[in-house]
A and B are shown apart, each in its own frame.
Chain A
């Protein structure tokens, strides 16, 4: 055994002993949570078996949880519980007296048709169900998106460039509205490719690039904030809940 291997075994043994002490003092789940957190963090150094273990455990548990929730939270109460309520009575007593709804046969049939995708010969049948889903969603989205992401956005951009309120002229709001107006116009010019970006039009496009860069910068700043929040949250768990170092 080389000196390096010996050091590795000693280090591993010390870690196991420390975790065993932690299990005795803090309980299994708190310790296991801390172990998983450290295992995920270890990826920052390099890929390793501990990270793989934590990652695979997460994927497996998530998939199983999602499947159970989907079955017991959706299929049982919304499909079986409505098609034939006495069937779910033993598991969800509250539903057993509900009236039966034969219209639920339609989603049942559509669901079975979707599963036909698993068959190489009958896979084409799933297209009918998929067409229903795509058609319904497209129809619902078209009108709603047109309102929330198009008409409402235009009306929000069409703001007065000279703002007065009860106190008179409002310099702050006026500047704010002008910045929004110019920012939107320059952004639109940048994405208008039917005319060459030259002269005044080119200057507008260059200003549009600056607006976009500022937007990306703000976005990056917020992303850093989000990630640091998560880091602090995990540190709080490790230092406070696990090690009890912070009161």
Chain B
């Protein structure tokens, strides 16, 4: 078997091993070297929107993902929450992910502690943020919140009546919030567009997994005012916030992995075309 045929028929396990080694090496070097991250308009627009809010303004942050997407989406949740706490913007949190409620509650608690450490200010539950928890049937929850949050969330995650939370005073529906930011890994994104934006026309922005990002670019400028796509988007937000963390540190591994995959695609194609040419000559 000549080298070109071998190139075209390379065992996929060699690719996995090589990719694992290269990404491991890049991950170990994440504190030694980094790759430049350029910000894009769709991420800047979310950053600028929150930056332009007044202290005391409120937003709805829906973290609709579960532990399987934690690695990819947590950096953007963290960055947006930190940004809100820095700007004294109040955050009403919730989730439409059945497997995500416990994890999202932990995300809110961890980022609260981190914000207190970084910005030296107190972030109190019920005052600066609250977590409403999970409710099933995303479409109906989204429609219901457009009328009144209390229809589906009479009480928060900790069983406190919503009216007992200072942050929820004078908050009835989307009209009482400045915007809705959805960090999404599932199908609820479509429902936010169809039942949220199309029905209630509130300012809506998405942070989505890399796989989902291309599907939602067409909505930019009409239904969405901003879009954070995967780790690259999270890295951009971290850079704008000047809080470079997991997403920025992981960008070296991303770049190297992309280069490795491009390399293997080129090798596979060279092998395929050369071996095909030889077969034709042989015929």
A contact residues around B226 at 8 Å (CB): none
Flag B50-85 by CB within 8 Å of A: 1 or 0 each. 000000000000000000111110000000000000
Q: Contact at A236–B258, with CB atoms within 8 Å?
A: no
Flag B179-213 by CB within 8 Å of A: 1 or 0 each. 00000000000000111011100000000011101
A contact residues around B171 at 8 Å (CB): none
Known: A153-B222, A221-B258, A234-B71. A148 touches B210 (CB 8 A): no
* Chain B CB within 8 A of A15 CB: no
A215 to B230, CA, bound (A): 17
Q: Contact at A225–B210, with CB atoms within 8 Å?
A: yes
Q: Contact at B261–A224, with CB atoms within 8 Å?
A: yes
What is the size, in residues, of chain B's interface with A at 8 Å between Cβ atoms?
49
* Chain B CB within 8 A of A239 CB: yes
Distance of B71 from chain A, by nearest CB (Å): 2
Q: Contact at A222–B98, with CB atoms within 8 Å?
A: no
Q: Contact at B231–A229, with CB atoms within 8 Å?
A: yes
B contact residues around A153 at 8 Å (CB): 218, 222
Distance of A22 from chain B, by nearest CB (Å): 19
Distance of A89 from chain B, by nearest CB (Å): 14
A229 touches which of B143, B161, B210, B214 (Cβ 8 Å): B210
A66 touches which of B28, B98, B135, B194 (Cβ 8 Å): B98
B contact residues around A228 at 8 Å (CB): 23, 231, 253-254, 257-258
B contact residues around A74 at 8 Å (CB): 136
B contact residues around A25 at 8 Å (CB): none
A contact residues around B254 at 8 Å (CB): 225, 228-229, 232
Residue of A nearest to B67 (CB): A233
19 contacts between A and B (CB under 8 A): A45-B13, A94-B155, A147-B198, A148-B193, A152-B198, A152-B219, A156-B221, A225-B232, A225-B254, A226-B210, A227-B210, A229-B231, A231-B20, A231-B23, A233-B70, A233-B71, A236-B27, A239-B24, A246-B27
* Chain B CB within 8 A of A155 CB: yes
Q: Contact at B71–A225, with CB atoms within 8 Å?
A: no
Distance of B116 from chain A, by nearest CB (Å): 23
Distance of A245 from chain B, by nearest CB (Å): 8
A153 to B220, CA, bound (A): 10
Q: Contact at B258–A156, with CB atoms within 8 Å?
A: no
Known: A225-B232, A229-B72. A145 touches B194 (CB 8 A): yes
A153 to B221, CA, bound (A): 10
Q: Contact at B72–A230, with CB atoms within 8 Å?
A: yes
* Chain A CB within 8 A of B271 CB: no
A100 to B263, CA, bound (A): 66
* Chain B CB within 8 A of A167 CB: no
Q: Contact at B13–A222, with CB atoms within 8 Å?
A: no
- Interface core residue of A137, A226, A233 (most chain B CB under 10 Å): A226
A122 to B246, CA, bound (A): 56
Show the binding face of A for B, using Cβ within 8 Å.
44-45, 62, 65-66, 69-70, 73-74, 94, 137, 140-141, 144-145, 147-149, 152-153, 155-156, 215, 218-219, 221-236, 239, 246
Q: Contact at A222–B27, with CB atoms within 8 Å?
A: no
A150 to B24, CA, bound (A): 45
* Chain A CB within 8 A of B134 CB: yes
A226 touches which of B13, B28, B72 (Cβ 8 Å): B72
Q: Contact at A148–B253, with CB atoms within 8 Å?
A: no
A144 touches which of B159, B194, B209, B229 (Cβ 8 Å): B194
* Chain A CB within 8 A of B99 CB: yes
A contact residues around B13 at 8 Å (CB): 44-45
Chain B residues numbered 37-57 whose CB sits less than 8 Å from any CB in chain A = none
Q: Contact at B210–A222, with CB atoms within 8 Å?
A: yes
B contact residues around A155 at 8 Å (CB): 222
Residue of A nearest to B194 (CB): A144
* Chain A CB within 8 A of B250 CB: yes
A contact residues around B197 at 8 Å (CB): 148
Chain B residues numbered 118-134 whose CB sits less than 8 Å from any CB in chain A = 134
* Chain A CB within 8 A of B168 CB: no
Q: Contact at A224–B213, with CB atoms within 8 Å?
A: no
Distance of B1 from chain A, by nearest CB (Å): 22
> 15 other contacts beyond A219-B214, A228-B258, with CB at 8 A cut-off?
A73-B134, A137-B139, A140-B195, A148-B193, A148-B223, A153-B218, A156-B218, A222-B214, A227-B210, A229-B72, A229-B250, A232-B71, A233-B71, A236-B27, A239-B24
A contact residues around B143 at 8 Å (CB): 140
A149 to B224, CA, bound (A): 12
